Structure 1
Amino acid sequence: MSKPSSTARPLQVWRDLNLSTLTAGFVAMLTGYSSSVVLMVQAGQAAGLSNAQIASWIWALSIGMAICTLLLSLRYRLPLVVVWSTPGAALLITSLPGVSYSDAIGAFIFCGLLLLLSGISSTVARLMRWLPASLAAALLAGILFRIGSQILQAAQEQIGLVLVMFVSYLLAKRWAPRYAVLLALFCGTLIAWVTGMLDLPEVQWQITLPEWTTPSFSLSAMISIGLPLYIVAMTSQNLPGLAILKSDGYEVDPAPILSLTGLMSVLLAPFGSHGLNLAAISAAVCTGHEAHPDPAKRYTAALCCGALFGAIALFAGTLTVLFMALPQALVISIAALALLGSIASGLAKAMESPGEREAALIAFMVAASGFTLFSIGSAFWGLVAGAATLLLLPGTPRQTPEQPLQNLPQPAIDAELAGEQKQQ
């Protein structure tokens, strides 16, 4: 993992912040919460939990996300966003009923220990070093394409809202590209408010207090809940999240990330946390060009996101109600617009190497399809399909820097000579 810059002091963080990083951090937070907080509530209700226990659950996840995101992003000066497992929350809707809450907590601890062991071992690090950049980029594009294409579904239901947001985004993209997403969010919120779609309920602002549940350990719960949670977290969140970072040019060592998220998952499990992992979709909002033109300063977007996680933790119960009241079309549209640049960048990088294009295309198609097998999502199967294609097809050898200039096309020769002159 990249080492922190010697000049990256607290004052440097303030200098690296700007309105676009603040916007990216807000959109990343909004995307993470509003798209899946309803799953948390459904899972808690299905398990027969009280409102206080559900609020404690969301508090535990939020405070863990804030701590991990802030610590990792500050330590490495990279946009490292940690979130809860959305597929894991969906899995719990069907797996929690019939299991005592204390046994579920024990299964959460078991999942956290598995994540911690994954961080201590070097298996994940070796896998990421092997992963070709084209497959990482194709995986990124496929994952994000599923989210981006949902704006068309939102347009079928709220064409006026989506159209205003899209046009405002394009106009700002031409005249003030750094604020395109912010302007689209502002226009969308204004339209939603004027048309009555933004009907926020009256709430009482109360600080959320965590509730401790003493864990008990059941072999059946660990197998039926803990092990699937771990598999889903690794295949649907951690591996795609690492691939997104790699695709955007951030080479990271997964060991400290998995170790910290695993440790925090274990510590916060008695308060309801079902597990923390690296973000995929939310991370892409912070790692793309829209967050900041300078890749070295995009870590501040993750810091903003982490700070918002911490603020939400204080009022988890109240804010959960507000998030659920946001128009779904607004949330989907702003997420899709924020990810357009990352999708385009991922597709461009995936097609760069002629010998890997077919494998990258297959990885993209599977990842974008939403295909699920054995309760494992399309991101993992896209990686498997792309890697299998790359191994089975002979392909075209990749160009390496050691090849003589006469073997390269003229544009590559010009770029090579320009690089040498710049170094001199």
Structure 2
Amino acid sequence: MHSKLPPIPSWTSALVAVLIGFGGTVALVVQAMRTLGATVEQTGSAVTALCLAMGVTGIVASMRVRMPIVLAWSTPGAALLGATTAGLRWEVAIGVFVAAAAMMILVGLIPVLGRLAERMPNAIASAMLAGVLMPFSLELFRLGAVDPLLVSLLVVVYVAARQRVPLYALLLVLTSGLLLTLARGDIADVPAGATFGALLPVMPVFDLRAIVSVGVPLFLVTLVSQNLPGLVVLRSAGYQPQAGPLLLGTGFASLLAAPFGAHAVNLAAIVAALCTNKDAHPDHHRRWVVGVLYGAFYLLLALFSPVLVRVFVALPHSTIAALTGVALIPSIIGAIEQMLGDVDARDPAIITFLATASGLALFGLGAALWGLLAGFVALGIKALLRRAR
């Protein structure tokens, strides 16, 4: 007979996964929403909606499929938004979020689209992601001319922690940055506002140019860099998840949360590894409870998310930018490894990477889309010349 309460390792695995997932990248999400023109209150609503969607959907999915379904917000998606959408109105951004969620729902509903998505050249998608993320980490070192102490501290902590406690590296970087900022008295007065989570709906405005330029890349980086690796993590843990229903579930969760400011909800990859291995629960068939605990912790975070957002808003821009730059280094490493993994696709991948990282904006369309187009054209030219030979 099973114990009614999950074992202690299940609680600790879920809690650590939440702390790493939230603490390591919340600065990036806050920065992205503020770049989009969201107010402090709207940014709080966005984080609240993300936490609620991740918590509720993760709990329901884990109980339904009897697997530890661990969800996250789209970190590369937030980076994309922060890098390419300055000046976009908040209502238009909400329309972009809704459109990207609808695309994910279509992939989940139509099996042939799911199969096509899984066959998309990984080198090109990863190159686009690397190009989107690169400017953030370059900004980290540009800040060295303004605040060498902060940059040096964060880089040293990151390198040391990656050697000793890699899973906790970003959490330690966040803690170090906050402590230094507090010690120097650089934090501004925390803006007044609600203590508990509040959802502020906004009527979306659908701008075709914004959807093509931002919504399509947001959908693609979320699918290729988050959802597909999340499925791989579950399969590596010995589960056999059906891709369609999970993509459909994350798409619907994103769609419902989008009017409140949530940019994208997806399967987690890195933190999911903490919740799907045998250390989290010895019984493979009962390990789904870790997904339920993980979701419950996110519901608690949703309750107090406005306070956490206001703390980050009060931090100096240099601190937020530096924390973001460090937080994205692991994602850049993974993207570059995937980008260069296929020797035959390296030239198109490098072209995609350079075009995206350049910040090219043409005809109102952003660099991420032009990078994808450049990469696909390069792939097409290679294929045609090979066939002619």
Same fold (TM over 0.5): yes
- Match of residue 222 from structure 2: 241
Q: Which residue of 1 aligns with 2:252?
A: 263
Task: Indicate which of 109, 115, 119 corresponds to 1:120.
Answer: 109
3-state SS in 1 of match to 2:260: coil
C-alpha spacing 1:21/1:122, structure 2 compared with 1 (3 Å): same
CA distance in 1, matches of 2:181, 2:54: 29
**Are residue 35 (structure 1) and residue 41 (structure 2) matched?**
no
The residue that corresponds to 1:343 in the other structure is 332
1:328 corresponds to:
317
Residue 266 of structure 1: CA displacement? 5.1
Q: In the alignment, which of 17, 34, 44 is matched to residue 13 of structure 2?
A: 17
2:169 is the counterpart of 1:188: no
Number of residues paired by the alignment? Answer: 361
Question: Is the partner of 2:195 in helix, strand or coil?
Answer: coil
Q: SS of the residue aligned with 2:160?
A: helix
Provide the residue aligned with 2:137 in structure 1: 148
Q: Is residue 2:78 matched to residue 1:81?
A: no
Partners of 1:376 and 1:170 in 2: how far apart? 37
In 2, the alpha carbon distance for the partners of 1:310 and 1:335 equals 24
Q: Deviations over 1:48-102 (max 9, x none)?
A: xxx6x886566445423443455567856465423597577958853749xxxxx
Structure 1 CA distance for aligned equivalents of residues 372 and 300 of structure 2: 36
Quick one: structure 1 residues 83 and 108, their matched pair in 2 at CA, closer, same or farther if it must change by over 3 Å? closer
Which residue of 2 is the match for residue 273 of structure 1? 260
- Bigger CA drift: 234-243 or 257-266? 257-266
How far, CA to CA, are the matches of 1:188 and 1:83 in structure 2?
23
RMSD: 4.8
Give the drift of 1:211. Answer: 6.2
Deviation, structure 1 residue 346: 2.8
SS at 1:36's partner residue?
Answer: helix
Aligned to 2:89: 94
Q: Summarize the Cα distance change of 1:121–1:343 in structure 2 as closer, same or farther, 3 Å threshold.
A: same
Look up the match of 2:372: 383
Aligned partner of 1:172: which letter? A
Cα distance, 1:147 vs structure 2: 2.6
Contact 2:140/2:151 (<8 A) preserved: yes
Identity %: 24
Instruction: Give the Å deviation of 1:168.
Output: 2.4
> Is the 1:73–1:80 contact (alpha carbons within 8 Å) kept by the matching residues of 2?
no
Contact 1:359 1:387 in 2 (8 A): yes
TM-score where L is the length of structure 2: 0.70
Q: CA deviation at 1:334?
A: 3.1
1:140 is displaced (CA, Å) by: 3.5
Aligned to 2:149: 160
1:297–1:241 distance in 2 versus 1, CA, 3 Å: farther
CA contact (8 A) 1:34 1:324 kept: yes
* Contact 1:111-1:229 at 8 Å conserved across structures: no
CA distance in 2, matches of 1:253, 1:381: 32
Matched, 1:313 2:313: no
Residues of 2 paired with 1:396 and 1:246: CA distance? Answer: 34
Q: Which has the higher contact order (CA 8 A, sep 6+)?
A: 2
Measured after TM superposition, the shift of residue 261 of structure 1 is 4.3
Residue 101 of structure 1 corresponds to none
Alpha-carbon distance in 2 for matches of 1:95, 1:373: 22
Say whether the 8 Å CA contact 1:351–1:360 is kept in structure 2: yes
CA distance in 1, matches of 2:43, 2:368: 29
Q: Deviations over 1:194-235 (max 9, x none)?
A: 11123452756633454678x7xxxxx7654xx566546642
Normalised by the size of structure 1, how large is the TM-score?
A: 0.65
What does the per-residue CA deviation read over 1:113-140, in whole Å, with 9 as the maximum and x for residues that have no partner? Answer: 6654454234642432221233233233
For structure 2, the residue ranges without an aligned partner over 5 or more in a row are: 233-240, 281-287
Query: Bigger CA drift: 130-139 or 353-362?
Result: 130-139
Contact 2:107–2:114 (Cα < 8 Å) also in 1: no
Given the superposition, is the C-alpha separation of residues 94 and 70 from structure 1 closer, same or farther in structure 2, using an over 3 Å criterion? same
Match of 1:194, as an amino acid? A
Are 1:262 and 1:276, in contact at CA under 8 Å, matched by a contact in 2? Answer: no
Change (3 A) 1:343 1:38: closer
- The structure-2 alpha-carbon separation of the partners of 1:333 and 1:308, relative to structure 1 and needing over 3 Å to count, comes to farther
Counterparts of 2:337 and 2:94 in 1: how far apart (Å)? 44
Secondary structure at the aligned position of 1:372 is classed as coil
Partner AA of 2:182 in structure 1: W
Q: Which runs of 5+ in 1 are unaligned?
A: 1-8, 46-50, 98-103, 216-220, 398-424
Counterpart-to-counterpart distance in 1, 2:289 and 2:132: 24
Q: Which has the larger radius of gyration?
A: 1
Inter-partner Cα distance in structure 2 for 1:191 and 1:310 = 30
- Counterpart of 1:94 in structure 2: which amino acid? R
CA spacing shift, 1:10–1:191, aligned 2, 3 Å: same
